[in-house]
Each structure stands twice: as C-alpha cells, then as structure tokens.
Amino acid sequence: MRSKYEVVIRAAPFTGGEPNNGFIDIRQYTQMADGKHPATLAISEAKVRGHFRYEMMIMQLHRMTNIYIDRPTFTGSDSSKSPTSVTLIMDVEHGDGALMTEDEDNQGAHLFGRDAIVRCIARAFTTSATILANYFDPTEIETINNGSTISVPRGFVTQELVIGALADNFALVAGAIDINKIG
C-alpha cells in the first residue's frame, strides 16, 4: 500500500532579490557546527526565507496524507550559498490513492498523484508572508572590551522578515520539479 517517490527540485529558474530570494533549505544556517555563519546579513536573511519555504513545503505535503521525508539532499548548500537542487525521498504511508489536493486553477476540481505533489510544492514557492525570525547578523559593530574598542559581529537578532514569493505561478515551479516513483 505504501509508495515511494524521489523528488528533485532545481533552483535554476528561481532568482530574485529581496524579499524573493532564498531557495528552499533545511536549515537557517544561523551558525554551523564548524563555527561558520552567513557572510552577510542579506545571505542570513535569504537562508531564513529558504528555511521558511522548506517548512511550508513539508506542511503542504502533510496536508494530503502522512508523508515521510527520508534522506533530503541539498546539493551545493553551505553557510553562504543556497542549494542548486534539493532531492527528497518521499515515503507515502497510505499509497498513491492518498495523494490528492485541491486545484486552485479549477474551482471544485482536485489533483492526484504526481500533480498533487507538484502543487503542494508550488504553494510553498508562491506564498508570501511576514514572519518574526531569529537569525545571525554578521554586521560588525564596535564594542568596548577591557578599555579598548573592538569590532564584533552583531550576533543573533529577532525581527520581522518579509518573505516574498519565489515564483508567481504554479507552472514555473512545475517546470523545475522531476518526480520518479521508486517503490
């Protein structure tokens, strides 16, 4: 009854400036385990936007049925770069018949199977929001330490962040997604 899919999402068609930047990413990269953090405030904000989109995508997929993501791969991603592609192995607990979602383009209609997966991902890419986010600001500020002035990163900030849509239509997103049934 279960089914499995490999989903590959390419970043190539999604380019833009703030607030429409930040391809999907599993982590905000506020600070890496090796001590690295985004090189600029703009990159840090883009990472937060990408993480928001990843969470939105997973939430949309879970609206259909129980879907488990196994071994997500974020190719080319590090503390200062967005991934060039994302690969997800999706385990659909209740099988293909559970993959159904509304079709916003056709009132009262539904999408099934691969089309439903694509639409759920596309919703995350076409959503705009303003969120309260906590992220690392590497901007140097001056502070006094033992009587001398030194420059240090500002550190973590919590403030509103505008997240623009990465795409303005579902078709653009659909063209960047490859889905293969693997089980």
Give me the half-sphere count of Cα atoms (radius 13 Å) on the Cβ side of residue 66.
4
pTM of the predicted structure, to 2 decimals: 0.88
Phi, psi angle pair for 76, to nearest 5° = 80, 5
- DSSP conformation class of 120: H
pLDDT at 32 exceeding the cut of 80: no
Percent of residues, the chain, with pLDDT higher than 90: 61
Residue keyed to tokens 């499995």 = 4
Q: Is the pLDDT of residue 115 over 80?
A: yes
Token pair for 90: 């999706």
Is the model's pLDDT at 33 over the cut of 60? no
Q: How confident is the model at residue 104 (pLDDT cuts 50, 70, 90)?
A: very high
Query: Predicted confidence band at 10 (pLDDT cuts at 50, 70, 90)?
Result: very high
Distance CA 27, CA 12 (A): 20
- Pick the more confident residue, 166 or 150: 166
**Structure confidence at residue 28 as a pLDDT band (50, 70, 90):** low
Q: Alpha-carbon distance 80 to 39, whole Å?
A: 6
Compute CA 23 distance to the chain's CA centroid, rounded to the nearest angstrom: 6
Confidence label for 137 from pLDDT (cuts 50, 70 and 90):
confident
- Per-residue pLDDT for 164 more than 90? yes
